A and B are shown apart, each in its own frame.
Chain A
Amino acid sequence: MHAIPELKKVDRWTEKRSMFGVYDNIGILGDFKAHPKDLILAPCWLKAFKGNELERLIRKKKMVGDRMMAVDRHNMEKRIRFLYRHFNRIGKHR
């Protein structure tokens, strides 16, 4: 049995790691024609948006809900109903 596992060898200079963060200041250095939020690779309901689970699900339902599969949409609506009741009716902070 190997009691001391070997450290995994991580290449710190791959293309992705060496070019990370480039163009993050495209607004400041590029005349504000673009914003760093345009660089984010994300589902369309999460681009330049931060929220808790209920807020994310509501935004997803507004933006993408009519395109979703039936089972996924049903589960999402159940989850929204559960979270609404949980946040607004249960516990100290209503």
Chain B
Amino acid sequence: MLRVSLLLRSGGAARRFSSSFSGASVLPPNLLLPSNLVDPARLKRPPPPADCPLPLLRKCDAAVPSHLSPVQTWVETLQRPDGEPLGLAQLHPDVFAVRPRLDILHDVERWQRNFKRISHASTKVRSEVRGGGKKPWNQKGSGRARHGSIRSPIWRGGGVSHGPRGPTSYYYMLPLKVRVQGLKVALSSKMAQDFLHIVDSLNIPTPDPQYLLDLVRHRHWGDSVLIVHVGDEFPENLLQATENLKTVNVIPAIGLNVHSMLKHEVVVLTLDTVKFLEDKLLWHDQRYTPLYPFKLPYADFP
């Protein structure tokens, strides 16, 4: 059997392979591999065992229901290029271990695509096309077909009878709790598929983009990385390194959304981001229905 480890790049461009046999057959250059092909090296990271010697760096702040147990994951670091974890973290199951509701993900993704959509396609009706007020020839006598104006829809250069009319909007809002559940389902799916990584902080030793790419490739994370951080300040090195990289993107925690999580293969959160997200997303489970919009002041919120 040929032991081949495949390393996929986004866009399906070049492929690198390493084979244990020197006279092995070369993969054809126009080979199209499915995008959900699993890299076997990625599956070798097991979840943390119960008797792990590494310290527990984070416990859940909110109360965990007694019939559920917190999700345990590794906490890694970006300072060193090797993939040794620093410790463990516990994540709340009502945010990171929700049922994988694909229908909610589909609804939220479709909402995100469409609610901002304004279609500027517009055509002119026969009354708006310039000209065409006069009857082109007499009703009877000329031998030609009878017409009332030269801009009717059956004429060349005439108006469009049932075309797109002016800027159209496709705005609608999903219920608040559906959008919140969409975020929880997306985070849980990333966690369940081993695509979510927790990092202690985002400090990098060099502003070199190649360092990040090598780190991602060495740890077998995936093609595209979404780094999420709370607050306004980002480390300078990280901003410089990701400035020219297309598939590694940094967003603030306020900008987290289902579409970006689905577009990027890997999501990287810091411990502060996890706290922020749990705080924001768990509140909706036990809140009263709003009597007036939340943007008006409430006594006990925020």
B-binding residues in A (CB < 8 A)? 11-14, 17-33, 35-37, 39-43, 46, 48-50, 53, 56-57, 75, 78-79, 82
Report Cα–Cα, A6/B201, bound state, in Å. Answer: 46
User: Would B11 and A12 count as touching, CB distance under 8 A?
Assistant: yes
Report Cα–Cα, A36/B179, bound state, in Å. Answer: 12
Report Cα–Cα, A48/B117, bound state, in Å. Answer: 10
User: Would B10 and A75 count as touching, CB distance under 8 A?
Assistant: no
A-binding residues in B (CB < 8 A)? 10-11, 112, 115-116, 118, 125, 127-128, 165-173, 176, 179-180, 183, 224, 246-247, 249, 251, 253-260, 263-264, 276-277, 280-281, 284, 293-295, 302
What residues of chain B lie closer than 8 Å to A40, measured between beta carbons? Answer: 115-116, 118, 169, 171
User: Would A53 and B179 count as touching, CB distance under 8 A?
Assistant: no
User: Would A18 and B263 count as touching, CB distance under 8 A?
Assistant: yes
Report Cα–Cα, A42/B284, bound state, in Å. Answer: 31
Report Cα–Cα, A78/B159, bound state, in Å. Answer: 15
User: Would B180 and A50 count as touching, CB distance under 8 A?
Assistant: no
Closest CB-CB distance, B275 to chain A, in whole Å?
13
Closest CB-CB distance, B213 to chain A, in whole Å?
14
What residues of chain A lie closer than 8 Å to B294, measured between beta carbons? Answer: 27, 32
Report Cα–Cα, A37/B118, bound state, in Å. Answer: 12
What residues of chain B lie closer than 8 Å to A26, measured between beta carbons? Answer: 254-255
User: Would A29 and B280 count as touching, CB distance under 8 A?
Assistant: yes
Closest to B164 in A: A53
Report Cα–Cα, A63/B127, bound state, in Å. Answer: 23
Closest CB-CB distance, A60 to chain B, in whole Å?
8
If A19-B260, A23-B257, A50-B171 are given as contacts, then 6 extra A-B residue pairs at C-beta distance below 8 Å, sorted by A number, are A13-B11, A25-B179, A29-B253, A37-B171, A40-B169, A79-B128
Task: Name A46's contact: one of B169, B257, B284, B295 (CB within 8 Å).
Answer: B169
Task: Name B166's contact: one of A28, A36, A48, A53 (CB within 8 Å).
Answer: A53
User: Would A25 and B256 count as touching, CB distance under 8 A?
Assistant: yes
User: Would A32 and B249 count as touching, CB distance under 8 A?
Assistant: no
User: Would A28 and B259 count as touching, CB distance under 8 A?
Assistant: no
User: Would B179 and A28 count as touching, CB distance under 8 A?
Assistant: yes
